[in-house]
Amino acid sequence: MSGPAAGPGSAGVGRGEPVQRGNVLTRIGAGELGSLRVIVGLAVIWIIFQVANDRFLSSVNLSNLMLQITAVATISIGVVLVLLLGEIDLSVGAVSGLAAGVMAVLSVKHGLSPWLAILAGLATGALIGAFNGIMVTAFQVPSFVVTLAGLLGWQGALLAVLGSTGTINLPPSPITDLTSTFFSVEVGWILGLATIAAFALAAVLKRRARIGAGLSPGPLAGMIVRLAATAVAVLAAVAILNDDRGVPLAAVIMLVLMAIFTFITERLRFGRHIFAVGGNEEAARRAGINTKGVKVAVFTLASTLAAAGGILAASRLLAVNQDSGGGDLLLLAIAGPVIAGTSLFGGRGFVFSALLGALVIGSISNGMDLLALESSVKFMVTGAVLLIAVTVDAATRRKRAASA
């Protein structure tokens, strides 16, 4: 059974895999240090676009970039969970649009409380996810087929929900506040320091747990370096956002969700079961894991997170229309985690790859927008980046198999 990759705190080194000796370049080529590889790539992308357009790294543009990726990154969290199972969900884009449509219709047309409308949208996603999971487990229909059908069917459901209106504009309300609320400078710094403290606490607890289990905790210096790098990144992000409008509530929501699901996948038994099923489903079943229950739960969570992403997207655009959840949203939601190191073959990945991948894809899209490139070029470049990432994933998987 292949070991899963750890979260950001371990720089992508596979949890449960032996750390190979050798230089950094060799370890990156073998699929370790996946996060470092993505971060270096992101830095290169930022440098290229900054040279091409000196507005790219301005606080205004980086703040807009953060808002642009929140919806995609939120959807990608659920995509990561599904990919860890070795499954695929092609319906997340359509589900995000339908959930946003349900929310908008209930809130605007029927006068339902915005908070209840949001809950209804999330419940829509959860029901669809449970349906997907049941079809995959009870009827043994491949997830590709089930969710491909959903890609078409839920888009039709969105058209039916919107009716002849076509577009529903969202008036100022708690729904639009989700992406239009920015925290003060002081609150922003408090949130940044709290994030750093949470990372430090998680790293210490993980190290103590490994020592208590009789496992090697790894070099202390490495943990300190990772925490220092995380602190610098967080403080720099807060400073940049504070220089514009402040830390956005939408970004906080996204990061909290990522922290929750990182905890679930790396610390709870349910998370270990996800990795086990994705690594070898038959072995997991023989070990007593309820593989069908795990799959239904993961598909339910994935569609619920897709609904949350759709609600955030509607909040930012101030409207829901017939194209909500369409376009390149599905491509971006799946491409991001794969680019950042989550395997398409199951059993290897980490939740924060959703953020790293969204940053890579979002930066490329944002930079090309600043350069006024045509949509055709954007699609071709994004597709090429995805193909390269999948090729690298397949190559590192073969290296692991050969060295096993």
Answer for the pair 351, 127: CB distance below 8 angstroms, yes or no.
no
Tens digit of each residue's pLDDT (9 = 90 or more) over 112-171: 999 999 999 999 999 999 999 999 999 999 999 999 999 999 999 999 999 988 899 999
Answer for the pair 304, 122: CB distance below 8 angstroms, yes or no.
yes
Three-class DSSP category at 157: helix
The pLDDT value recorded for residue 68 is: 94
The pLDDT value recorded for residue 28 is: 44
Per the domain annotation, does 29 fall within a domain?
yes
Q: Is residue 243 scored above 50 in pLDDT?
A: yes
| Among the ranges given (30-34, 192-196, 281-285), the one the predictor scored with the smallest mean pLDDT | 30-34
Higher pLDDT, 30 or 156: 156
- Quick one: what percent of the chain has pLDDT higher than 70? 90
Three-class DSSP category at 106: helix
Tokens of 206: 């993980």
If one counts every other C-beta atom within 10 angstroms of the C-beta of residue 213, the result is 8
Q: Is residue 323 scored above 70 in pLDDT?
A: yes
Per the domain annotation, does 131 fall within a domain?
yes
Confidence of residue 33 (pLDDT cuts 50, 70, 90): low
Q: Is residue 19 scored above 90 in pLDDT?
A: no
Phi, psi (deg, nearest 5) at residue 320: -125, 135
Per the domain annotation, does 208 fall within a domain?
no
Per the domain annotation, does 306 fall within a domain?
yes
Per the domain annotation, does 69 fall within a domain?
yes
Tens digit of each residue's pLDDT (9 = 90 or more) over 378-388: 888 878 887 88
Per the domain annotation, does 3 fall within a domain?
no
> What average pLDDT is seen over the chain?
89
Domain coverage including residue 300? 8-181+248-403
The DSSP symbol for 171 reads: P
Per the domain annotation, does 201 fall within a domain?
no
Q: Which residues contact 211 (CB under 8 A, 6 or more apart)?
A: 217
Tens digit of each residue's pLDDT (9 = 90 or more) over 175-213: 999 999 999 999 999 999 999 999 999 999 889 988 988
Higher pLDDT, 175 or 338: 175
Per the domain annotation, does 255 fall within a domain?
yes
User: How many domains does the chain divide into?
Assistant: 1
For the entire predicted model, the pTM comes to 0.89
CATH of the domain at 17: 1.10.3470
Q: Is residue 377 scored above 70 in pLDDT?
A: yes
Tokens of 358: 């969204």
| Among the ranges given (28-37, 165-174, 372-381), the one the predictor scored with the smallest mean pLDDT | 28-37
